[in-house]
C-alpha cells in the first residue's frame, strides 16, 4: 500500500548544527511530496512541497529534493535554530482515486539546544 | 492562524458516551478533512468531504460518522466512546477536491479524553 517512513526521533541538535531528517515513500503512481511542521500546541502547517521528480522544495532555510530513483524526500537545513524545535512530518498526496488526502509519516521530533 | 476553526478545544467524557466535534474551514475552501492523532498510531486520515459530498475515506470506525453542511462546516460524530478513542482530532481544509498539489490548512485540533 501507499506509505511514508521517516527516521525515528527524537533528534537533538545544538544550535547552528546541520539537520537531516530522512523520509522514504512507497506509492503507486506519481505522488506529490510534502513536509509539514507542528509546533507545540498548534496544528500542522506546510513547510515545503515538491510535485514531480527532481523538484526541490525550499522554505525558511529548509530544503528537500524529490528523488524518484530512491523514493526519498529528505529534509535538510544547514544551520538550525532553537525556534526550529518542533515535530516534522513527511507526507504524500495526489494518488489516483484518493481525493486530496495526505498520507503522513510517523513524525520526527526535533529539539534544538542553545 | 490557518483560518480553520475547531471546537471544542478540549473535551473530557466517559466511555460509552457520544460527542460531536465541529470544524469551520477557511473561507473559500470546499474540502474538509478529518485526522486522528495519537501517540501509538500517529496521524491517521479519517475522511474527506468536498462541497458536501464524501470524497475519500480512510480507516474511520463504524462508530464514527461525519458530514459537511451546505455552509461547508463539518461535524465529526464519535459514539460509544472507548478509552482508545482518546486522541487529538484535527480538521483541515483545502480549496480543491484532490490532485495532491494543493496545501491543506490545519486547525489547532480538538483534544478528546475518554475516562
Give the model confidence (pLDDT) of B23-71 as tens digits.
999 999 999 999 999 988 889 999 999 999 999 899 899 999 999 999 9
The residue count of chain A comes to 114
Distance of CA A97 to the CA centre of its chain: 23
Q: Are strands B110-114 and B10-13 parallel, antiparallel or unpaired?
A: parallel
Question: 38-97 in B: which are within 8 Å (CB) of A?
Answer: 42-43, 45, 48, 50, 55-56, 58, 90, 92, 94, 96-97
Would you tell me how many other CB atoms lie within 10 Å of the CB of residue B106?
23
Do the beta carbons of residue B4 and residue B107 sit within 8 Å? Answer: yes
Q: Cell 526535533 identifies what position?
A: A110
Phi-psi domain of A9 (left: phi exceeds 0; alpha: psi -120 through 50; beta: other): beta
Q: What are the cell numbers at B52?
A: 458536501
pLDDT band at B101 (very low <50, low <70, confident <90, very high): low
Q: Which residues of chain A have pLDDT under 50?
A: none
Q: Do B106 and A44 touch (CB under 8 A)?
A: yes
Is the peptide bond prior to A10 cis by the omega test (within 30 degrees of 0)? Answer: yes
Q: Which pLDDT score, from 0 to 100, does residue B33 have?
A: 95
What is the Cα–Cα distance from B101 to A91, expressed in whole angstroms? 12
pLDDT above 60: residue B99: no
Do the beta carbons of residue B92 and residue B33 sit within 8 Å? Answer: yes
- Which residue among A44, A94, A98 places its CB closest to the CB of B56? A98
Distance of CA B89 to the CA centre of its chain: 6
What is the Cα–Cα distance from A48 to A69, expressed in whole angstroms? 20
Sign of the CA dihedral A71, A77, A81, A83?
negative
pLDDT above 60: residue B12: yes
Q: Which pLDDT score, from 0 to 100, does residue A7 have?
A: 87
pLDDT band at B1 (very low <50, low <70, confident <90, very high): confident
Q: Which pLDDT score, from 0 to 100, does residue A19 have?
A: 97
pLDDT band at B100 (very low <50, low <70, confident <90, very high): low
Q: What is the nearest CA distance from B100 to chain A, expressed in angstroms?
A: 4
Amino acid at each position: 500500500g501507499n506509505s511514508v517512513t521517516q527516521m525515528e526521533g527524537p533528534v537533538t541538535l545544538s544550535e547552528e548544527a546541520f539537520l537531516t531528517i530522512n523520509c522514504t515513500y512507497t506509492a503507486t503512481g506519481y505522488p506529490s511530496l510534502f513536509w509539514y511542521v507542528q509546533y507545540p500546541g498548534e496544528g500542522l502547517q506546510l513547510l515545503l512541497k515538491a510535485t514531480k521528480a527532481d523538484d526541490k522544495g525550499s522554505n525558511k532555510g529548509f530544503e528537500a529534493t524529490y528523488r524518484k530513483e530512491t523514493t526519498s524526500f529528505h529534509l535538510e537545513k544547514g544551520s538550525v535554530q532553537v525556534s526550529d524545535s518542533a515535530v516534522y512530518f513527511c507526507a504524500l498526496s495526489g494518488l489516483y482515486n484518493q481525493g486530496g488526502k495526505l498520507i503522513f509519516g510517523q513524525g520526527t521530533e526535533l529539539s534544538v539546544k542553545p | 492562524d490557518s483560518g480553520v476553526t475547531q471546537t471544542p478545544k478540549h473535551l473530557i467524557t466517559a466511555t460509552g458516551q457520544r460527542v460531536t466535534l465541529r470544524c469551520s474551514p477557511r473561507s473559500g475552501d470546499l474540502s474538509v478533512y478529518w485526522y486522528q492523532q495519537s501517540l501509538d498510531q500517529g496521524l491517521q486520515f479519517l475522511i474527506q468531504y468536498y462541497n458536501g459530498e464524501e470524497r475519500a475515506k480512510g480507516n474511520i470506525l463504524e462508530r464514527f460518522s461525519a458530514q459537511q453542511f451546505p455552509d461547508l462546516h463539518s461535524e465529526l460524530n464519535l459514539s460509544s466512546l472507548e478509552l482508545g478513542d482518546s486522541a487529538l482530532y484535527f480538521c483541515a481544509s483545502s480549496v480543491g477536491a484532490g490532485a495532491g498539489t494543493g496545501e491543506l490548512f490545519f486547525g489547532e485540533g480538538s483534544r478528546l479524553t475518554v475516562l
